[in-house]
Chain A
Amino acid sequence: MIRIILPPNLRTLAHTGAEVTLEVEAPLTLHSVLDALEARYPMLRGTIRDQVTQQRRPFLRFFACELDLSHEPPDSPLPEAVAYGSEPLIILGAIAGG
């Protein structure tokens, strides 16, 4: 079971709490986890990655196990602790603006 922590505005949009859990088939990558997240919560499609280019939105970052994964290739394996569910994948909005 994969744990994902969403930024507040996306929790409102998806009608969830801070953390959502998903079953994701291997291989476990940012790409596969975000695909599964968007399949379970279609309203999030386009809010984390551009609908067309699949590029991460510039004001969002991905963290797990105290590592910044934002600039990792999307098909890189995620840390094992994320796969085991002992650590969450954190989607974080940049602190900017009012």
Chain B
Amino acid sequence: MSKVRVLVGTRKGAFILTSDAKREQWEVSGPHFAGWEIYHLKGSPADSNRLYASQTSGWFGQLIQRSDDGGKTWHQPGTPPGELPAPGPPKSASNKFVYDASDATGKQLTTHQWYDGTQHPWEFKRVWHLEPSLADPDTVYAGVEDAALFRSTDGGENWQELSGLRGHGTGPMWQPGAGGMCLHTIILDPGNSQRIWIAISAAGAFRTDDGGETWKPINRGLYSKYIPNPTAEVGHCVHHIAMNPARPGVLFMQKHWDVMRSNDAGESWQKISGNLPTDFGFVIDVHAHEPETVYVVPIKSDSEHYVHEGKLRVFRSRTGGNEWEPLTKGLPQSNCYVNVLRDAMAVDTLDKCGIYFGTSGGQVYASADAGDSWNPIVRDLPAVLSVEVQTIR
């Protein structure tokens, strides 16, 4: 029988929520890595027992954790639990993220734009997003702050930067958003292993068609009134991008302001905010079986990071955008002032499609009927940073 595993990253640890396909009764395990910020955890599509987690701390830096048993036990890749240390220098390099500035394979480390417009050195801070390969459990991509893309092909033990992105040439024009200059979205094309989309706040969206060697900005059609040139090639604060794997190339974007879509793999974008009460927001996702059904959670504004009118509403479009309906059944409709961050919504692949999201107030809501009704799985976790779902058959 199918089951669902919801992976929740929070400000103070990770939680794993499991249920059968009915999605009515939930078992909660955690906190894993208690006290640490877990920016993101995600399971391998090729092996549901293989999970990766980004564990980070202002005190102790970045760590990568891996589970090979569906989240029951964890270890830092390269340091299996219980293994006696070998003679010689420590072998764990799983938290060693070094920008590749070598002459042979890398790109020169440049500066980027700082908040005040001056140039600032590129410095590694943390991993925002982990994206396991669609085919190989040992291959995983990491989107980091300051923005760059790394890849491991040995289960997270060693990381190499795909420096063609950072060294693409527009790096000195990239700038941090309020959360930092982060690469937060990584989408792998199921039909073309050479094609990857990524997004950076605040630089915009980029695509590679050669496995990460070279990249091009794909921001035509974006309009950002808060930058000197609103239609610039780079500089846009893209918050998140989502894609239905059955229809690669059709992309949906929640920008700082504006909800957008692209029908041509990002070559051009059209605004689809339509009748949304506000088109500021962070999350966006697509129904697993209906590629024109899209979900967003509108946030009041860029200075008031909470839901509009004190009502927690998911908006659904069944028409690929422009026409949106509020989904409210089971969600608080008064005095609610939570935020939903960019990686904190996910969908399962059951029928009916399940939708999940987590809030800054520590609630994780689930809908087992594609958004028609909602129930909290948990109400009182630490602030939720990310939500991912595994459908296990």
A13-25 vs B, CB cutoff 8 Å, 1 = contact: the mask equals 1010000000000
> Which of A37-45, A63-71, A75-83 lies at the interface?
A37-45
CA of A27 to CA of B47 in the docked complex: distance in angstroms? Answer: 48
| CB neighbours of A57 from chain B (8 A) | 59-61
Q: Are B58 and A59 in contact (CB under 8 A)?
A: yes
Given contacts A51-B93, A52-B98, contact A40 B85 (CB under 8 A): yes
Q: Are A42 and B96 in contact (CB under 8 A)?
A: no
Q: Are B78 and A42 in contact (CB under 8 A)?
A: yes
A15, A46, A47 pick with most chain B CB within 10 angstroms = A46
Indicate whether B57 reaches chain A with its CB closer than 8 angstroms: yes
Q: Are B60 and A39 in contact (CB under 8 A)?
A: no
CA of A64 to CA of B114 in the docked complex: distance in angstroms? Answer: 39
Closest to B87 in A: A39
Given contacts A9-B35, A47-B63, A51-B93, contact A42 B79 (CB under 8 A): yes
Indicate whether A74 reaches chain B with its CB closer than 8 angstroms: no
Indicate whether A60 reaches chain B with its CB closer than 8 angstroms: yes
Which of A9, A39, A45, A51 has a CB less than 8 Å from the CB of B59?
A9
Q: Are B34 and A46 in contact (CB under 8 A)?
A: no
Indicate whether A97 reaches chain B with its CB closer than 8 angstroms: yes
Contact sample, A vs B, 7 pairs, CB 8 Å cutoff: A9-B36, A13-B60, A46-B62, A46-B63, A50-B61, A52-B98, A57-B61
Which of A42, A60, A96, A97 has a CB less than 8 Å from the CB of B90?
A42
Given contacts A9-B35, A9-B36, A52-B96, contact A46 B61 (CB under 8 A): yes
Chain B min CB distance to A50 (Å): 7
Q: Considering only CB atoms and an 8 Å cut-off, how many residues of chain B contact the other chain?
A: 25
A13-B60, A50-B61 given; 9 more Cβ-contact pairs under 8 Å: A13-B63, A39-B89, A42-B79, A43-B76, A43-B79, A45-B92, A48-B60, A51-B93, A60-B60
CA of A47 to CA of B81 in the docked complex: distance in angstroms? Answer: 18
**10 closest A-B pairs by CB:** A42-B90, A47-B60, A42-B92, A59-B59, A46-B95, A51-B96, A45-B90, A38-B90, A42-B79, A43-B79
Indicate whether B120 reaches chain A with its CB closer than 8 angstroms: no
Chain A min CB distance to B5 (Å): 23
Chain B min CB distance to A85 (Å): 21
Q: Are B85 and A46 in contact (CB under 8 A)?
A: no
| CB neighbours of B81 from chain A (8 A) | 15
| CB neighbours of A8 from chain B (8 A) | 35
Chain A min CB distance to B109 (Å): 12
Q: Are A9 and B85 in contact (CB under 8 A)?
A: no
Indicate whether B91 reaches chain A with its CB closer than 8 angstroms: yes
CA of A52 to CA of B60 in the docked complex: distance in angstroms? Answer: 14
Q: Are A10 and B79 in contact (CB under 8 A)?
A: no
Given contacts A57-B59, A59-B58, contact A39 B96 (CB under 8 A): no
